[in-house]
Every structure is written in structure tokens, then in C-alpha cells.
Amino acid sequence: MAIVATLFCQKCGDKIVQFQGARFTICNKCGFRTDFTTNQNVTKYDTVTLRTDEREEVDAMNALIQRWASNGWKIKSLSEFHRTESGTGGLTYMLTRYTTILFEKNV
């Protein structure tokens, strides 16, 4: 495959390459996806995963969503998962809730 262009990741600044015929590339350093299109409508995607067990954490998530929205990002999807974490040498277990938000932005 021939390299069409050497670019820089918009999230971390690391070098990324565009191969001939590629529609997107993933940064090896931070995992940010850069889409290549022939028109001017390029969509960026980014994810954030937050712990959302307590009310303060949910409030912080809502503030984060508002901050991203004020910068032109929209929520593409929101998913929740639970994880069991052990404490005191594995004698106690705590169920922890996390929320992952997939943001998208047309540039």
C-alpha cells in the first residue's frame, strides 16, 4: 500500500499516515480515529468513560456533556456497564457503574 500523506493526530499530535484508498486511520498512541473523505464533511469521534456511582459523579458527567456540546460535539451513543471490584484482600466486593459516551462532531 502506498502512503498518500503523513499527518498529525488532532488529539495528541503524534504522526499518522493515510494509505491509498483508506477511509480512516487510528492513532497508534491515543486511539483517536481520523476519517478521510473526498468531501468537506468530516466527522470526528471521541469517547469518554466515567464512573457514575454517586450523584456527584452523574452531575459531573452532565457538566462534561454540556461543555462538549458548547464546543460543537453531539452524543452519538451512551452506554453503561458494571464492574465488580474487590477490596480488603478479596473479602468484599463492590459493584461499580461506568458510563461511556461516544461524541461526534462534523468539521
Measured CA to CA, the distance from residue 99 to residue 75 in angstroms comes to 13
pLDDT category of residue 40 using cuts at 50, 70 and 90: low
Task: Tell me the Ramachandran region of residue 8: left when phi exceeds 0, alpha when psi lies from -120 to 50, beta otherwise.
Answer: beta
Share the mean pLDDT of the chain: 86
The continuous run of DSSP H or E covering 62 comes out as helix 55-70
Region 34-45: mean pLDDT is: 73
In order, the DSSP letters of 17-62 are EEETT-SEEE-TTT--EEE--SSS--EEEEEEEEE-SSHHHHHHHH
Every domain of the chain and the residues it spans = 3-35, 44-106
**What fold is seen in the domain 44-106?**
Translation Initiation Factor IF3 (3.30.110)
Measured CA to CA, the distance from residue 102 to residue 19 in angstroms comes to 26
pLDDT in tens, 62-106: 999 999 999 999 999 999 999 887 776 767 788 899 999 999 998
What percent of the chain has a predicted confidence (pLDDT) above 70?
92
Measured CA to CA, the distance from residue 43 to residue 74 in angstroms comes to 11
